[in-house]
Amino acid sequence: MREGEPQFEADILDRETPLSVDEIANARGPEEKIFPSSVGKTRYEYYFGDISVSILRKGIAADDFEKNKERILAVLKSKEEGEILPCEKLLVNALVEQYRIAKMFGIKETEVWSSLLADYTHEGSSMMSYMGDEVYMLSLAQHIDSLKKEGATNEQVITEISGQIFHESIHNGKTEISGHNSPFGEVTPITGQLAYYLAKRYRGPKGYDAPRSLLGLKKLNQVKIP
């Protein structure tokens, strides 16, 4: 524990309410510039007693910024009062939640993500890099907007995103859940993600539900096998 670090409950992992923006700001260490890098990276570390999480903010190249200026600016301006990064409260809470997931499923804390790289220029449908710990902020903002349109509360958004991060850590073959081997396609990651939602009694919107499953089955049935 750092000198002057704010005091949290005896075990923050037993806490049921999300960390506030003020608590996150108090736990935030000094920013660290990381070089060499063509666009630069800045690391923000957050200390909560015996655990810590971090976010690496990837710099934005001028050419990439000009290609998608309006969307990038919209994300950069979406910070809550007291945040220094867009979605800082969400991402820090989701990373702390990975420790709770490890505890929940008997996984070593070193086998879940405790750090994310935030990319502000990548476009596409994916919210995170496949088998990686990179989060695509443009897609994340769109995903959050979709969840809220479906009625998700702020706490539910944190839970849903936490499951997505856990999903990718399983994809990586990093956890004991996958036997430290490559998981079986999407089956193992989705199973782990849904197991987490069930354990949390999460009933909010998510990427995998009955209507989407039926659509998936319909697409599979249309595939012609030679």
Helix or strand (DSSP H, E) at 56? strand 51-58
Tell me what pLDDT residue 191 has. Answer: 85
Mention every residue, 6+ apart, whose C-beta is less than 8 A from residue 73.
none
Tell me what pLDDT residue 93 has. Answer: 98
Between 137 and 183, name the one with better pLDDT: 137
pLDDT of residue 91 exceeding 50, the answer is yes
Find the range with the poorest average confidence among 14-28, 55-69, 70-84, 206-220: 206-220
How many helices, marked H, and strands, marked E, lie in the chain?
A: 8, 5
Find the range with the poorest average confidence among 15-24, 56-65, 122-131: 122-131
Mean pLDDT of the residues in the chain: 84
pLDDT of residue 133 exceeding 60, the answer is yes
Mention every residue, 6+ apart, whose C-beta is less than 8 A from residue 40.
33, 34, 59
Of 116, 121, 114, residue with least CA distance to 59: 121
Which two three-digit tokens encode residue 70? 């309006």
Q: pTM score, two decimals?
A: 0.84
Q: What is the band of 123 on the pLDDT scale with cuts at 50, 70, 90?
A: confident
Tell me what pLDDT residue 126 has. Answer: 87
Q: What is the band of 188 on the pLDDT scale with cuts at 50, 70, 90?
A: confident
Q: Tell me how crowded residue 187 is: count the other CB atoms within 10 A of its CB.
A: 9
* Top-ranked range on mean pLDDT: pick from 1-15, 24-38, 148-162, 212-226: 148-162
CA 209/CA 215 separation, integer angstroms: 10
DSSP characters over 77-123: TTPPTT-SSTTHHHHHHHHHHHHHHHHHHT--GGGS--EEEEESS--
- 3-class SS of residue 138: helix
